[in-house]
Chains A and B, each alone.
Chain A
Amino acid sequence: GAVVSQHPSWVICKSGTSVKIECRSLDFQATTMFWYRQFPKQSLMLMATSNEGSKATYEQGVEKDKFLINHASLTLSTLTVTSAHPEDSSFYICSARVRLAQGSYNEQFFGPGTRLTVL
């Protein structure tokens, strides 16, 4: 299957600082990328959907000014957690979907996740 990478795999930062997480589709072009957040023993919660070259669509309750998403190319999306606080500590997972194709179920491929800990 297609490969999605994330960097960094884990990060520890001080409260008030900003953290950038990169998501790359390594061997395919992803017209759509998704950012999820997962708290311990909880399911994946979609934060936002981004399409290459356009603004991200945020889910209800997700602050777009706090979680900045940039999808500058068909292989790269970034999530920046601005002014991070301890409650932002979570497992952030990106997912990429290939260009919609007729007859395809348009599988989403997941990155390995980034563990963010805010002190």
Chain B
Amino acid sequence: GQNIDQPTEMTATEGAIVQINCTYQTSGFNGLFWYQQHAGEAPTFLSYNVLDGLEEKGRFSSFLSRSKGYSYLLLKELQMKDSASYLCAVRSGYSTLTFGKGTMLLVSP
């Protein structure tokens, strides 16, 4: 099976930088995804990593270390609208995604 662990909640202030960590254990690793989900809405895709290293996309960056089973999502220049749940999801082989429980991020003024 797969085991995905991420913090339950985090808080940060507007304009700051926050890093959300995700650790996983899986066999046949075939990619790690980060999604953003606002309350009552479906998840929206943020990033994808399959090789080690950092992927940057605007204010969002995602890092992966396959040997450590570790990833993080970095959010810069935080805005109030970034308050949401951030889901780490792992793909094993060509099967579907397994989601972590999500990290609820609260951005305050």
Min CB distance, B49 to chain A, in Å?
Answer: 9
Partner pick for B99 among A43, A91, A111, A115, CB 8 A cutoff: A43
- Whether A100 contacts B42 by the Cβ 8 Å rule is no
In the bound assembly, the distance between CA atoms of A113 and B31 in angstroms comes to 24
- Whether A105 contacts B31 by the Cβ 8 Å rule is yes
Contact mask for chain A residues 77-115; partner B; CB cutoff 8 A; 1 contact, 0 none: 000000000000001010000001000011111111101
Min CB distance, A51 to chain B, in Å?
Answer: 12
Neighbouring B residues of A106 by C-beta, 8 Å: 94
- Whether A112 contacts B45 by the Cβ 8 Å rule is no
- Whether B43 contacts A44 by the Cβ 8 Å rule is yes
Neighbouring B residues of A108 by C-beta, 8 Å: 96-97
What is the size category of the interface that chain B forms with chain A?
A: 20 to 34
Min CB distance, A23 to chain B, in Å?
Answer: 11
- Whether B97 contacts A110 by the Cβ 8 Å rule is no
Min CB distance, B91 to chain A, in Å?
Answer: 8
Q: Does A61 contact B (CB under 8 A)?
A: no
Min CB distance, A114 to chain B, in Å?
Answer: 10
- Whether B45 contacts A1 by the Cβ 8 Å rule is yes
Neighbouring B residues of A44 by C-beta, 8 Å: 43, 87, 99
What is A's interface to B at a CB cutoff of 8 Å?
Answer: 1, 34, 42-46, 49, 91, 93, 100, 105-113, 115
